[in-house]
Amino acid sequence: MTVSLVLAAHGSNAQPQVNARIHELAKKLESSGCFTRVRAAFHQGDPHFSEVLDQLPAGRTVVVPLMTSAGYYCDKVLPRELRRNESFDASKVEITAPVGAHPLMRTILGNRIRELLRENKLNPDDLAVLLVGHGTPRHEASRTTTIKLADELQRDFEMSMVTPAFIDDEPTVQDAFASIGTRDCIVLPFFIGSGMHAVEDVPAMFGHSDVQRRLVIDRPVGMDDGILEIVADLVRPSPETPAIHARNVRTIRLGTRASKMALWQANHVAELLRPSCRVEIVEISTLGDRDRTSPIDALPANGPFTDDIEIALVEGRIDVAVHSLKDLPLTESPQTRVAALLPRGDARECIVTRERLKLSELPAGATVGTSCARRALQVLRLRPDLRIVPLRGPVDDRVQQVHDGKMDAAILAWVGLQRLDLLDAVDEVFAIDEFLPAPGQAALAIQVRADDREVATMVASLDDAATRAETALELNLQRALESTGNLTVAAYAKCGDACYELRARILQKDTGQAHDVVVSANSPDVALAEALDELQHLRPSVEQEAVH
């Protein structure tokens, strides 16, 4: 059978020696004759992760992340970019664990410490070893391998002090170095390539070592040819060093509603998870799906489209739940948590009409379908001469109801029509400030049991920090204002360059009166406080407890 090997590294566009090392390793492995083809691939460099599979012959492909740990690039970027290859086939592409997490890495580093002790005539009884990794606050797994290795090396060298340190995380290199006192120090750069971090940033962080102790900064660990043995072992999965594809033999049961939209969302999440596990989709009937005639606000549930799925999650009938974020209750159950929010889609609203008209072109008295107070009030704000009629059901069914003449038009989320390939039905897309969406609109939430750390860690790599920050701001505003029962909130937040902008429209259900607010601040807390203060000033009738 044809077997190709891909060595996947972060790489560097600015420092060619980094990628040259990976190409060198690929040539050595190809010369072994064990593979049909061996190629290096990079996030920064040529070929890119998203192109390499298309350059290989058909057949089984093993992708080995030449990275020191799990984390953002290994768990999120690499699988995502590999799926962009036209020839990607999940059943034939295996992604192994990163080389840095292999048990042989402990041996490589231990042998290197012994060599440096001999070469530099260092006293192991008065020695500190700093294992320096990159680290990043955006992905907790990026620190795990470095910390674990440091603990294992500490046990191997009982008379030495082995400490993890990080360039972009805690403990910092400077703090770790200060903690060793007057001991001599060996610095092991836990990096694959001889790039800027390994050969420039790390030495610069030590400055000038004082004369009372010796400082030895080693080459990056990826320069050791022992890494070839790790690659070879990863390609031959064993119980001790299984590949990601084989390691997660556990099947993740993913709970979802049964509508076409919900199944699209579930399959989208399943595809993101499948490089690291098997996924079984479990369809669950919710109250909101069973009762399609009552107004949503009248349904006897906090989350009519989510409660039944959450119960299945808590009871252990599923392991993961996928929801539209805006469907989740504002108060999260202590037994569950949202472990990831996927990058948000386009949150704009749109209109679908029977006669292919824009909102402004509908005749007076035309019927517009929606069962959402926020949408109804904004339609009447723009066209008070129109008539709102109730509209429930799945997205595709709502479009069909309009085309069947049961109403003249309907207001829908644009992203829903995009996901179901129904954009041909859209007659007008509203600008955000013209027709504000629901807080959290167009964001997908992945929910897990609060005590299931294994699944939470697996899912966490899919979390998008910008989406989480923006939707949290919108939902916090909604929590503060909708407690009165007479208000409905439309909101949209955007963050960038340390600036948080929040647009909100507060609508009174009984009068239709609307109040708009737009604030910008350097933190979400300040933006929220300013919005609430401005709305309190504009709306003296709002009860104090509603905004504070």
Distance CA 279, CA 320 (A): 10
b/e 456-474 (16+ beta carbons within 10 angstroms → b): bbbbbbbbbeebbbbbbbb
Structure tokens at 368: 């517009």
SS3 of 4, please?
A: strand
C-beta neighbour count of 216 within 10 angstroms: 17
Question: Which contacts of 79-82 are long-range, i.e. CB under 8 A and separated by 24 or more positions?
Answer: 79/272, 79/275, 79/276, 80/272, 81/43, 81/48, 81/49, 81/50, 82/49, 82/50, 82/53, 82/275
Distance CA 154, CA 158 (A): 6
**Residue 327 annotated as catalytic:** yes
In contact, 488 and 482? CB cutoff 8 Å: yes
Q: Do you know the residue count of the chain?
A: 548
Beta bridge partners of 514: 507
Q: Which of 169, 308, 327, 408 is catalytic?
A: 327
| Chain center to CA of 129 | 34
Question: Which contacts of 48-55 are long-range, i.e. CB under 8 A and separated by 24 or more positions?
Answer: 48/81, 49/8, 49/77, 49/78, 49/81, 49/82, 49/84, 50/81, 50/82, 50/84, 50/85, 51/85, 52/6, 52/8, 52/85, 53/6, 53/82, 53/85, 53/87, 53/88, 53/93, 54/85, 54/86, 54/87
C-beta neighbour count of 345 within 10 angstroms: 17
Task: Just list the catalytic residues.
Answer: 327
